[in-house]
Amino acid sequence: MVELGVRLGIPLALLVLAYFTGAAVERRHYASIRERELRWRSVPAITFRSVPPSWKVTECTLITGSVVISVDYFKRFLAGLRAIFGGRIKAYESLLDRARREALMRLKQKAVERGYHAIVNVRLETCRMANARNSESIAGLEVLAFGTAVKLRNAP
């Protein structure tokens, strides 16, 4: 019975803990993302490879924004079970969504702080970070947003 308790109890306790901490972290992160999306919404971050013809660019530079985000135990548990049946790994969708949006927000914030007006040719890259001990499982992932920040004479 003791053995069963250890086998079942510890992972279960971890799962419950990870569910609540994970949910709280996610809720707070989303609140912060939405707040910044509102704040920086007038800064265009667009995927055009060149600036629109009406923009008069005076200065430009490469700019990056990146975030490294971790998978919690509960999400990893769900994804592990999902791997048996197949289908959408719903637990990871919000994780990646947060990472992409966070990276974009950091990109915009950096551009604004350096006096740029817009970012063109925005690209997103995702990179998974494998656990050293067991390369099958994911320790976390990085999303990198980069683009060309431009200063404009006729700022929008």
Partner 1 sequence: MKFDPSIPEDGINVSRTHPLREALLLVGGVAAIAIAVAVAAAVAVDLVAPHIPIELEVRLFSGWFDRGVEADEAVDPREQSLAKLLGRMAGHWPENPYAFEIAIWDIPEPNAVALPGGVIAVTDGLLENVESENELAFVLGHELGHFRNRDHLRGLGRGIAFSLLLVAVGVGGSSSAVELASLAGQFAQRGFDRDQEIEADRFGLALLAAEYGHVSGAEAFFEHLPELGGPLDGELASYYSTHPLNADRIQALRGMAHEMGWELRGERQPLLSLSPAR
DSSP-assigned letters across all residues of 79-147: HHHHHHH-S--HHHHHHHHHHHHHHHHHHHHHHHHTT--EEEEEEEEEEEEE-SS-TTSEEEEEEEEEE
* Distance set, CA 95 to CA 25, 26, 110 (Å): 11, 8, 23
81 touches partner 1 (CB under 8 A): yes
One residue of 21, 42, 47, 50 binding partner 1 per CB under 8 A: 42
112 touches partner 1 (CB under 8 A): no
Q: 3-state DSSP call for residue 53?
A: coil
83 touches partner 1 (CB under 8 A): yes
47 touches partner 1 (CB under 8 A): no
Scanning residues 17 to 36, which ones bind partner 1 (CB under 8 A)? Answer: 19, 23, 30, 34
Binding residues for partner 1, per CB under 8 A?
A: 1, 4, 7-8, 11, 19, 23, 30, 34, 37-38, 41-42, 44, 46, 52, 54, 74-85, 88, 90-91, 93-94, 96-97, 136-137, 156
